[in-house]
């Protein structure tokens, strides 16, 4: 091989590698990471990218050189020269990828096992999903529930995730975590948040009509602020001595003891805690969802169904497919609210919906 060819090939490789490196580094492809696990995932990612850039540079250089240097004249229709194998070359291009792929496998295995390792003083949080909402419940605080995921900075977190209906997936880009949530299984994710802030929490598995609306937030708080919040939640979720009804449920919201006078506020909090706003419009709650029927129009829906308003609203929550407003798909509204809401919560929600619908009407 001539010295000039080697210099030309090297020059082309440097240019191709430089362009690929600029494409990799200049745009901000990834959101700023916010967990210890994310740092390791990013290391793996950039390790693979660096290898890819190296291979790209070599392949692009040889290809461009061959196209330019060995180009045949326009009127040349002869066969090319016969080429026989080159054992040394074949061993080289088998051995190098073998070493690279093995290196990637080792790095990935170390990162995954470290990210999944149990740490001391782990905070456990139960995650329950259903179309199309998230419920986070804290066993350390009498199973108090929250529609957003609040986490203390710097502490190891374990999420134990369940689905009540179809497959969903937990994804927080800043944590670099994605894990399916499969009915009948409990899947876990470990996170050690290391940056304060509010990050989008997304369902990352197509789960039905409201999939794109199945979003929440992960809020990383200072440990002291988190402890104060958790204590507050624990207090309001603690079982009230006498006023609770017979039904206990795993996903009750924070408002189990209510008097009739505060039922409108209680109903609003049940509405918000159960994700109703991701699918429904209701001006009293500032909700603008469009997957399901517009709850400001409940009075006329009940008239069309020829049912008394309160009974109609109650039935539509507990048994949503008994009557589906025309123009809306059947089978989209979860059928689980009859079990997941306590009687007190259901009554508060019905009262709230009836009141706001009547106000809207008059
Ligand atoms: Cu749940 Cu997509």
CB of 302 sitting under 6 A from ligand 1: no
Please identify, by atom number, the ligand 1 atom nearest to the C-alpha of residue 214: 1
Please state the separation of Cα 246 from the chain's center in Å: 35
Please identify, by atom number, the ligand 1 atom nearest to the C-alpha of residue 166: 1
pLDDT of residue 263: 62
pLDDT of residue 309: 87
pTM of the model: 0.68
Centre of ligand 1 from the C-alpha of residue 169, in Å? 6
Helix (H, G, I), strand (E, B) or coil at 75: coil
Distance of alpha carbon 360 from alpha carbon 82, whole angstroms: 85
pLDDT of residue 141: 84
Using the Cα atoms of residue 241, residue 245, residue 247 and residue 249 in order, give the sign of their dihedral.
negative
Distance of alpha carbon 201 from alpha carbon 174, whole angstroms: 9
pLDDT in single tens digits along all 362 residues of the chain: 678 888 999 999 999 999 999 999 999 999 999 999 999 999 999 999 999 999 999 999 999 999 998 888 888 888 888 888 889 989 998 999 999 999 999 999 999 999 988 778 899 999 999 888 899 999 988 888 888 899 999 999 999 999 988 999 999 999 998 999 999 999 999 999 999 999 999 999 999 888 888 888 999 999 999 999 988 887 776 665 544 444 444 444 444 444 444 667 788 888 877 778 778 888 888 888 888 888 888 888 888 888 888 888 888 888 888 888 888 877 778 777 887 788 888 888 898 888 888 887 75
CB of 287 sitting under 6 A from ligand 1: no
Distance of alpha carbon 291 from alpha carbon 297, whole angstroms: 15
The b-or-e profile of 90-103 (16+ CB within 10 A means b, else e) is eeeeeeeeeeeeee
pLDDT of residue 246: 44
Please identify, by atom number, the ligand 1 atom nearest to the C-alpha of residue 212: 2
pLDDT of residue 240: 57
- Closest by Cα among 146, 128, 133, 127 to 332: 133
Using the Cα atoms of residue 172, residue 176, residue 178 and residue 179 in order, give the sign of their dihedral.
negative
CB of 201 sitting under 6 A from ligand 1: no
Please identify, by atom number, the ligand 1 atom nearest to the C-alpha of residue 205: 2
Q: Nearest residue CA, atom 1 of ligand 1? A: 168
Alpha-carbon distances of 177 from 157, 180, 256, rounded to whole Å: 12, 10, 34
CB of 334 sitting under 6 A from ligand 1: no
Q: In the chain, where does DSSP find H-type helix?
A: 3-25, 36-69, 87-115, 223-237, 263-273, 298-305, 309-318, 337-340, 343-361
Centre of ligand 1 from the C-alpha of residue 168, in Å? 5
Using the Cα atoms of residue 159, residue 43, residue 26 and residue 66 in order, give the sign of their dihedral.
negative
Q: Which residue has the tokens 């624990």?
A: 234
Helix (H, G, I), strand (E, B) or coil at 302: helix
pLDDT of residue 214: 87
- Closest by Cα among 292, 297, 275 to 353: 297
């Amino acid at each position: 091989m001539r010295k000039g060819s080697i210099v030309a090939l090297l020059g082309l490789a440097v240019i191709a590698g430089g362009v690929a490196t600029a494409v990799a580094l200049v745009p901000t492809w990834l959101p700023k990471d916010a967990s210890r696990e994310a740092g390791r995932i990013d290391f793996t990612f950039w390790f693979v990218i660096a290898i890819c850039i190296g291979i790209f540079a070599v392949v692009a250089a040889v290809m461009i050189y061959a196209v330019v240097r060995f180009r045949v004249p326009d009127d040349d229709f002869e066969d090319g020269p016969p080429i026989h194998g080159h054992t040394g070359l074949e061993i080289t291009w088998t051995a190098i990828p073998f070493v690279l792929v093995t290196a990637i496998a080792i790095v990935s295995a170390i990162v995954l096992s470290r990210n999944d390792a149990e740490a001391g003083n782990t905070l456990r949080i139960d995650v329950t999903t259903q179309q199309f909402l998230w419920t986070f419940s804290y066993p350390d605080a009498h199973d108090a529930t929250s529609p957003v995921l609040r986490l203390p900075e710097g502490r190891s977190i374990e999420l134990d995730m369940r689905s009540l209906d179809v497959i969903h997936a937990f994804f927080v880009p800043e944590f670099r975590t994605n894990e399916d949530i499969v009915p009948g299984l409990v899947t876990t994710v470990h996170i050690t948040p290391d940056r304060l802030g509010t990050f989008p929490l997304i369902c990352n598995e197509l789960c039905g009509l409201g999939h794109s609306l199945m979003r929440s937030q992960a809020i990383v708080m200072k440990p002291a602020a988190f402890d104060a919040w958790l204590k507050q939640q624990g207090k309001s979720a603690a079982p009230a001595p006498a006023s609770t009804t017979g039904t206990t449920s795993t996903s009750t919201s924070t408002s189990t003891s209510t008097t009739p006078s505060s039922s409108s506020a209680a109903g609003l909090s049940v509405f918000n805690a159960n994700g109703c706003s991701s699918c429904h419009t209701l001006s009293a709650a500032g909700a603008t969802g469009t997957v399901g029927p517009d709850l400001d129009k409940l009075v006329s829906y009940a008239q069309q169904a020829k049912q008394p308003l309160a009974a109609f609203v109650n039935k539509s929550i507990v048994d949503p497919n008994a009557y589906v407003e025309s123009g809306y798909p059947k089978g989209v509204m979860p059928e689980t609210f009859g079990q997941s809401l306590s009687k007190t919560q259901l009554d508060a929600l019905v009262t709230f919906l009836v009141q706001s619908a009547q106000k809207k009407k008059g």
